[in-house]
Amino acid sequence: MAYRYYVADASINGFTSASAGWVNDFQANLNYMFDNASDLQTIQEETSFSSGSYADVVVRINRGINSYTGEKLGDDFKLIIFKELDHSIDLGRFYYFDSNYWLTYNTETIRNLASSCIVRRCNNVLRWMDSDGSILQTPCVIDYAYKNPRDQVIKASGLTTPGGYIRIYTQQNSDTNKIKENQRFLFGYPDNWVCLKVYGGGLHNFDNLETLDNSTQKLLTLEVAVSYINEDTDDVSLGIADRYTFTTSSSSVNNIVVTPNSGSILEGDSQLFDVRYYSGSVVVSGSFVFSINDDNVPTGNYSFATIDENTFSVENTTRYLDYPLAVLCSGSSGSRIFNIDLRGDW
């Protein structure tokens, strides 16, 4: 009889289940104890996944791995603990603290009471040029060591090619979704770049967090192999591979030719540049829109003008040796970035 009265009282007074009671008690205890810790920090959190905007959040930060083995650096892996049990956590979300971006590397949110995640320090940046000529970049994690590093000699030619592969992690978003197999990236610094190319089959963009929803993949993994620098097509000043390789949407066009192709103007001189589509050695009709592609060169050092749909002019008013002037030649059948050096008297 007492049990029946208990049930009636529960329905009248809104009594919660035992499970909900434990959750509420856990949150109350966490609210009381959370701030009483030496590892409390204010860091920057991406406000929502792939938003690119950040806001302050108060968290506790602990060691993310057992670093005593020396296999991985303890400073590169951290456990972030949040105060609210329902705090939003996404695999692949970025954080910023201690002068570094951090990538959410591991989560345990399904049927788990506490709200926490493992983040890994981003130790480099992926940089590339989009098909419309825009330069894109995103923080990334490059693993510590190459697998199977070697030199491989091609017997038929006697040439030696580098070998070795490594893994890269980054956030999968609308920009990185455009990365393709065999795409190349530069890492390091000017005069000593390292080129890495995505393997065929090295693009891992299909690890869904919800089985039937292909949009739930949040962490992009790239298997990349050692490759060569190509100074004809790579921007070795800014570290952007294939920046000077144009993209085309026309099967009849296989080249964009800029004349003259020397790409340098002495101080005080001006130069007209003619831009044409080619199919083999034959000129193909087509127009271009010309613009300066970046702001690395101060506007006071040059004068730029579009003459017509195939011609532009540049005057070198004052030499500038730090960066070339990058002109984007954009057309309906393809685009190309053409670099012009603003030289001194010789």
For residue 261, give the CATH number of its domain.
2.60.40.1080
Same domain, 192 and 279: no
Q: What is the pLDDT of residue 6?
A: 46
Q: How many domains does the chain have?
A: 3
Which of 143-157, 170-184, 298-312 has the least mean pLDDT?
143-157
Flag whether 238 is in a domain: no
The pLDDT assigned to 27 comes to 61
pLDDT at 31: 64
Q: Which residue has the tokens 């065929």?
A: 200
Q: Flag whether pLDDT at 294 surpasses 70.
A: yes
223 in any annotated domain: yes
Which of 121, 153, 185 lies at the terminal end of a domain, its last residue? Answer: 121
Same domain for 293 and 201: no
Q: What residues make up the domain containing 325? A: 255-342
**Final residue belonging to a domain, choices 73, 106, 121:** 121
Tens of pLDDT, residues 206-220: 988 889 998 889 999
> Is 216 found in the same domain as 162?
yes
Q: 46-60, 120-134, 220-234: which has the highest mean pLDDT?
A: 46-60
pLDDT, tens digit (0-9, with 9 covering 90-100), for 157-184: 566 667 788 999 999 999 999 899 889 9
- Whole-angstrom distance, CA of residue 260 vs CA of residue 258: 6
Based on C-alpha coordinates, what's the Rg of the chain? 28
In 3D space, the residue among 205, 241, 206, 207 whose CA is nearest the CA of residue 220 turns out to be 205
Count of residues for the chain? Answer: 346
The yes-or-no verdict on residue 307 having pLDDT over 90 is: yes
Tell me whether residue 59 is in a domain: yes
- 302-306-309 Cα angle (round to 5): 150
Checking if the pLDDT of 67 tops 70, the result is no
Residue 130 and residue 208 in one domain: yes
Q: How far apart are the first and last CA of the chain?
A: 104
Q: Is residue 83 predicted with pLDDT exceeding 60?
A: yes
Q: Do 138 and 176 meet the contact criterion of CB atoms below 8 Å apart?
A: yes
Q: Is residue 89 part of a domain?
A: yes
- Adjacent-strand bridge partners of 195: 186, 227
Among 262, 252, 260, residue whose Cα is nearest residue 324: 262
Alpha carbon 341 to chain centroid, angstroms: 28
Residue 188's pLDDT band (cuts 50, 70, 90): very high
Average pLDDT for 56-77: 79
Residue 233's identity, in one-letter code, is T
Q: What is the pLDDT of residue 266?
A: 92
Same domain, 113 and 133: no
Q: Whose structure tokens read 């053409």?
A: 338
Tell me the mean pLDDT in the region 92-113.
88
Residue 276 clears pLDDT 50, i.e. is over it: yes
Domain containing residue 211: CATH number: 2.40.10
Residue 55: inside a domain, yes or no? yes
Question: Measured between alpha carbons, how far is residue 134 from residues 31, 78, 84, 139 in Å?
Answer: 46, 34, 39, 17
Where b means 16+ CB within 10 Å and e means fewer, 36-47 reads eeeeeeebbbbe
